[in-house]
Amino acid sequence: MEDSSVNCAEHLGKYFSERDNSSNVILSSDIPAICKTEKCCLGVDEAGRGPVLGPMVYGVAYCPLDKSASLKKLGCADSKVLTEEKREELFGKLCEGKDYVGWSVEVISPNSICNSMLRRQKYSLNQVSHDSAIGLIKKAVDDGVNIAEVFVDTVGPAEKYQEKLSKIFPEFKITVASKADATYPCVSAASICAKVARDRALQVWKFEDGVEKSEDGWGSGYPNDPVTKKFLQKNIDHVFGFPQMVRMSWSTADKILQESAAPVEWEEEEDEASGNTPSISSYFGASKTKKRSTHPYFRERCLKSTVSL
């Protein structure tokens, strides 16, 4: 995974236009010196969890505890209630406030999400989300940010998630809550950073699959959007399926695959199908049918096992 620095909003679009979209990446601001000495609050939120198209982006934003009001004064709020123009404006202000606020985002590619959710040992979207959030918090710690409090917009039951994070980070005061992005300014800032990063990535998305963006575009990316559904139906290959922008593990995409792509039948090996595959533990236990032979060393010396002396 790459780890790159971004100093302003313009760098995001340029960066995404020049890179391979199939791998994950972490982008970060410079770390303000004050955040290494003063006790800080850190907020965590995501953008793009539900769409069938594009990456999911997790973000963190941090600042000294006594600067939290400054984030609110900037206008930081839940990114979902802000216009795209307002989010861009606020992201620019967060970048300009580099003397007291810092941020990081992890851009998780669509194929990375699919590979996780479709592998034999299930790795759910909640697990992907938790691991990303935990990784970004650990990165801030490793970078020297003096974290005192952490605020997280919940994924799944808030109490269980808070208990999990508290065990990993016992030195921090952890608060996990629903709608945290509308309550805590540092979570609002994280939400804005994540949403702007996802929007910029989609605006300049490079299709390695030969797909060209139509005039209609692809809509919001959410499964119930008619424009998104039209994009999916138009850009499916009969053999290879969808371009890498699509999360094929989503039910909307899977349904179109079942209807429009070539059917695939997977052959099962005979011993797997018949259920005769030996378990791993069977190689370590004593055989019930075969008598265990004595090693030649013991036979040649007429030595036998005893149970007592």
Q: Over the stretch 29-79, which tens digit does the pLDDT of each residue have?
A: 999 999 999 999 999 999 999 999 999 999 999 999 999 999 988 888 878
Give the separation between CA 62 and CA 41, rounded to whole angstroms: 6
Task: Give 273's pLDDT tier (boundaries 50, 70, 90).
Answer: very low
pLDDT at residue number 282: 65
Cβ distance 113 to 93 under 8 Å? no
What per-residue confidence (pLDDT) applies to 184?
Answer: 95
The string of pLDDT tens digits covering residues 92-128 is 999 988 899 999 999 999 989 998 888 878 889 999 9
- Give the Cα separation of 154 and 167 in Å (integer): 16
- pLDDT given at position 292: 67
Q: What is the rounded average pLDDT of the residues 144-163?
A: 96
CATH architecture of 211-257: Orthogonal Bundle (1.10)
CATH 1.10.10.460 residue window(s) in the chain: 211-257
Query: Would you tell me how many other CB atoms lie within 10 Å of the CB of residue 70?
Result: 15
**Location of each CATH 3.30.420.10 domain in the chain:** 9-204
Binding residues for a divalent metal cation: 45-46, 153
CB atoms within 10 A of CB 223: 18
Q: Which among 158-162, 201-205, 206-210, 296-300 has the top mean pLDDT? A: 158-162
The residue that leads in pLDDT, 59 or 11, is 59
Query: In terms of CATH, what superfamily is 9-204?
Result: Ribonuclease H-like superfamily/Ribonuclease H (3.30.420.10)
Report the binding-site residues.
45-46, 153
Contact indicator for 63, 186 with CB cutoff of 8 Å: yes
